[in-house]
Amino acid sequence: MVKKYSIGRNPENLISIPDHPSVSGTHAYITPISENEMLVEDNDSTNGTFVNGQMVSSYVLHPADELRVGKVRIKAEQLFQKIARQAKPAGQGNAQKPQRKPQVVDVSDQFEQLRAVFDKYRQRKHQLAVIREGNWLEKLLRIIFPVGSIFRNKALEFQVQKEKLDDWFQEVYVCPNCNTHFGNMRWELIAKKKNCRNCKAILVK
């Protein structure tokens, strides 16, 4: 019987993506087909499953593809590697031959640079909130003139800026090795874990 593997925000998923609101609890399922093919199926997720930028309900993945669940990008090649390790029976191969430990990638230098990324995101988000909430003149004019395109345009402009900021943050605040998004978790909290939860890369020495 072919086993299905799950991807989602819940910790029991094989590919767990915690602390990211765009990812559903069990977002999608992966079913191996062959060494270089696996079927991805969206699990009626809130924000959709995408392959190479196109939304899909089901799709046959290949190692060169890019999978996106919600707004989190995952290289298909890494999925193949992880599922291959998961599916390999215990003790397979020559028992007398010592097994090499998997090489752990050190990305501590790149991860250190993400401290500034998180600080910039937090500061800019705070600035937008202050601008949004602190414009007393605009609030007064809204009371006097409740209907007006100028206010709708300003609200739309604010929303566009916020979405651009969020998109930028989701693009760059990722593991330097596997591109898994860290969600909104503070840099210091991630640093305490020392390794990426997904690929185990070294984040802090």
For residue 92, tell me if it sits in a domain: no
Is 117 found in the same domain as 55? no
Give mean pLDDT in consecutive 10-residue pieces for the chain, a chain of 205 residues. Answer: 84 86 93 91 94 94 93 89 72 52 81 94 86 59 54 68 88 88 89 88 90
What is the model's pLDDT at position 57? 94
For residue 179, tell me if it sits in a domain: yes
Query: Domain boundary at 52, 87, 122, which?
Result: 87
What is the model's pLDDT at position 28? 95
What is the model's pLDDT at position 150? 53
What is the model's pLDDT at position 86? 76
For residue 26, tell me if it sits in a domain: yes
Is 79 found in the same domain as 12? yes
For residue 201, tell me if it sits in a domain: no
Q: How many domains does the chain have?
A: 2
Is 146 found in the same domain as 82? no
For residue 98, tell me if it sits in a domain: no
- Do 176 and 110 meet the contact criterion of CB atoms below 8 Å apart? yes
For residue 187, tell me if it sits in a domain: yes
This prediction has a pTM of 0.48
Domain that residue 46 falls in:
5-87
For residue 122, tell me if it sits in a domain: yes
Per-residue tokens: 166:
């969020």
Return the sign of the alpha-carbon dihedral for residues 52, 87, 203, 70. positive
What is the model's pLDDT at position 189? 92
Is 115 found in the same domain as 76? no
Q: Give the 3-state secondary structure of residue 21.
A: coil
What is the model's pLDDT at position 4? 87
What is the model's pLDDT at position 191? 92
Is 112 found in the same domain as 79? no
